[in-house]
Amino acid sequence: MPPAPAAAPAFESSLGHPTFASIGFFFLIILVTLVITWWAARKTRTSSEYYAAGRSVSALQNGFALAGDYMSAASFLGISGMVALKGYDGMIYATGWLMGWPALMFLVAEPLRNLGKFTFADVVAYRLRQGPVRIAAAVGGILTTIFYTIAQMVGSGSLIALMFGMPFVLAEVLVGAVMLLYVLFGGMLATTWVQIIKAVLLLCGVTVLTGLVMSKFGFSLPALYRAANDLYPAKHLLVPGELTASPLDAISLGLALMFGLLGLPHILMRFYTVPDAKAARVSVLYATGLIGYFYVIIPIVGFGAAVLLSLKDGTGAMTTLGDKVITAFDRGGNMAAPLLAEAMWGSAFLGFIAAVAFATILAVVAGLTLAGASAYSHDIYVSVIKKGRATEEEQVKAAKIATVIFGVVAVALGIAFQGQNVAFMVGLAFAIAASANFPALLMAIVWKRFTTWGAVWSILVGGLSSVSMIVLSKTVWVDLFHFEQAIFPMKNPAIFSMTAAFAAGIVVSLLTPEPEAQKKFESEKLRTYLGVGAE
Amino acid sequence: MSAAPPVEASKTATELIESPDFRALVRTRWTVSFTLLGLLFVGYYGYILLVATAPGVVARRLSEAPDAITNVGLVLGIATLVFAWILTAVYVVWANRSYDPEVERLKSQLRR
């Protein structure tokens, strides 16, 4: 039954109009998290408490916090919207987001915990000359964090504007201010608990939404698939579409998603919050389970939105299809899940989901801020400028100043990029993480002959090649700069930039042998594998 | 790995690092890791390549029945996620049962 072509969607939504429920949940979340911050602030005095929650977080808590750090509003709203509009392609895309977690466990989680103190640069620089390596690794870390933050901030501003009807700039300032309160006063402990609360709320919200969708189809997945398939006969929702049109590009995207995780500073930093390598290991298993569950059920929300948001007239005939209803609110499909929540359980449930999305943004930005701040205050200020000789007070003070600077910069960049399409910046963050941060980190852990200049060149080559290839690709060169033709033919550079970073690291290391670093590699093994002397 | 014999904390750090047991521990750790990583690669990139190169196979329905709707791709997508989690769980079970006790045994040999 084709709908009338240009029929305006007649879906009445309270989206964009603050309701009692949405405001209520919104303030409840802010109140609870600020109480936690007040409690955490009394336990946050030393640098180890500020950056790493005193290494007191349990494996289960860290599992939830890792999941909270990783499941951004982009994955919740974006992937459900992508499934609603494009079907199976959204499922393929969702799969890639989990694949980094097993790799993180196998390659870096335990050595990272044993060798490092607060940042991943601790591990890269462990046996190398601190100055050059720290600076290179910190720049890689800060670039990754900044691009990820811009994407989050711009997305959050439009999201809050869309859901609460709040002006963009006010939304940015509000996110920045609340997030800074968490990080500045409660440090990693408050940030961890914000992540845990957000992960629980998000998983509960999506579970309820999934249950409501399934109840409409007699709890039968095939019935849901059939309804989606039959409603959109021309779209072929159940088979692969354009996402994998180029196998090389699809593999390259997969590599960036998989190994990008292993270079995300705000994720890696979480491993220092647990007491030992065993807790780090177990926390990855919890996180993988929670995130995997999330990506298994999120397509159900997407398919459900495509079917259940369709409008019927009085006689039961279809007037507007669900995809038209969704794109009328947001062209990218980001409002599929909130609209579905409202269609299922009314504006109170929409208010809850909107508040959860807001908490999601706050939590992710708080984690990013702590990571970005530590790359400057711990890696550059304390380790390079003060040569590691800073008192506890100086370290905490530097961390707090860096936190404020990063928070202000985040808000400023969010406002500066208002209205721009910044979706590519998440891809950019993952490409830099996979190409600049991950190769150096892995080689530092496993390769005896890795050297200072090998590390610096690996980071430089990986970072510069991934950034320039993305700039020259269609996403930026054509869509943003409006040139005729992309110079780099693919969308995802990771397969080349990651290879280039490993090649640069290996070649330069072999050309600049560093016997001192090789000797230290042997003696650090007790710490890497047995945890002897780990902090 | 045999049961720990009554140990004396007798080895220096260098002796322990150079001992055959420690080398075996490190070798086994990376063998397990890279084997599991290899399986992850085969599972995930195999899935992506199958979707990219053989869409016909992916679109094939599971049953011949006229009302059957679930196709190979829908099942494989979820199976890939479950497979990744299982690999993670295998690593944790191995590490808890086999790696950790050996770490404790070797640590007890270290003269402090």
Position A10 pLDDT exceeds 70: no
Nearest partner of A149 among A262, A265, A47, judged by Cα: A265
Four-CA torsion A22, A193, A398, A276, nearest 10 degrees: -160
Q: Which residues are B71's β-sheet partners?
A: B61
Position A8 pLDDT exceeds 70: no
What CATH number belongs to A21-420?
A: 1.20.1730.10
How far is the alpha carbon of A464 from chain B, nearest alpha carbon, in Å? 26
- Choosing among B42, B45, B60, B69, which should be mutated to test the A contact, i.e. which has the most A CBs within 10 A? B69
Nearest CA in chain B to A295: B81
Q: Residue A318: helix, strand or coil by DSSP?
A: strand
Give the whole-angstrom CA distance, residue A197 versus residue A330. 28
Fill in the amino acid letter for A123.
V
pLDDT of residue A121: 95
Sequence-distant (6+) residues with CB within 8 A of B93 are: none
Q: Please, which pLDDT band fits residue A2 given cuts at 50, 70 and 90?
A: very low
A211-215, A333-337, A474-478 — most confident range: A211-215
pLDDT of residue A264: 96
Residues of chain A positioned with their CB less than 8 A from the CB of B36? 102, 106
Give the whole-angstrom CA distance, residue A303 versus residue A81. 9
Residue A512 token pair: 């600049």
Give the whole-angstrom CA distance, residue A411 versus residue A280. 32
pLDDT of residue A91: 94
Contact check, Cβ <8 Å, B73/A238: yes
- Higher pLDDT: A72 or A133? It is A133
How far is the alpha carbon of A232 from chain B, nearest alpha carbon, in Å? 14
The pLDDT of B29-48, averaged and rounded, is: 97
pLDDT of residue A164: 79
Residues of chain A positioned with their CB less than 8 A from the CB of B103? 529-531
Residues of chain B positioned with their CB less than 8 A from the CB of A96? 44
Position A519 pLDDT exceeds 90: yes
Give the whole-angstrom CA distance, residue A360 versus residue A18. 18
Residues of chain B positioned with their CB less than 8 A from the CB of A285? 88-89, 92
Nearest to A247 among B49, B74, B77 (CB): B49
Q: Residue A217: helix, strand or coil by DSSP?
A: coil
Residues of chain B positioned with their CB less than 8 A from the CB of A525? 17, 22, 26
Residues of chain B positioned with their CB less than 8 A from the CB of A86? none
Contact check, Cβ <8 Å, B80/A95: yes
Position A494 pLDDT exceeds 90: yes
Position A5 pLDDT exceeds 70: no
Fill in the amino acid letter for A236.
H
To which residue do tokens 């709203």 refer? Answer: A77
How far is the alpha carbon of A502 from chain B, nearest alpha carbon, in Å? 17
Position B7 pLDDT exceeds 70: no
Residues of chain A positioned with their CB less than 8 A from the CB of B69? 222, 225-226, 229, 238
Q: Please, which pLDDT band fits residue B5 given cuts at 50, 70 and 90?
A: low
Q: Please, which pLDDT band fits residue A1 given cuts at 50, 70 and 90?
A: very low
pLDDT of residue A9: 46
Contact check, Cβ <8 Å, B48/A247: yes
- Higher pLDDT: A78 or B4? It is A78
Q: Please, which pLDDT band fits residue A377 given cuts at 50, 70 and 90?
A: very high
A395-427, pLDDT tens digit by residue? 999 999 999 999 999 999 999 888 777 777 888
pLDDT of residue A7: 42
How far is the alpha carbon of A228 from chain B, nearest alpha carbon, in Å? 11
How far is the alpha carbon of A454 from chain B, nearest alpha carbon, in Å? 23
Residue B106 token pair: 């070797």
Position A347 pLDDT exceeds 50: yes
**How does A394-432 read in b/e, with b if 16+ C-beta sit within 10 Å?**
ebbebbbebbeebbebbbebbbebeeeebbbbbbbbbbb
How far is the alpha carbon of A189 from chain B, nearest alpha carbon, in Å? 26
Position B8 pLDDT exceeds 70: no
A153-157, A269-273, A358-362 — most confident range: A269-273
3-class DSSP string for A182-205? HHHHHHHHHHHHHHHHHHHHHHHH
Nearest CA in chain A to B54: A240
Domains of chain A, by residue range, sit at 21-420
Residues of chain A positioned with their CB less than 8 A from the CB of B85? 98, 102, 288-289, 292
Nearest CA in chain B to A284: B88
Contact check, Cβ <8 Å, B88/A284: yes
The pLDDT of A336-355, averaged and rounded, is: 89
pLDDT of residue B3: 52
pLDDT of residue B6: 54
Sequence-distant (6+) residues with CB within 8 A of A359 are: A29, A33, A194, A197, A198, A201, A202
- Choosing among B81, B106, B108, which should be mutated to test the A contact, i.e. which has the most A CBs within 10 A? B81
Instruction: Give pTM, 2 decimals.
Output: 0.93
How far is the alpha carbon of A528 from chain B, nearest alpha carbon, in Å? 10
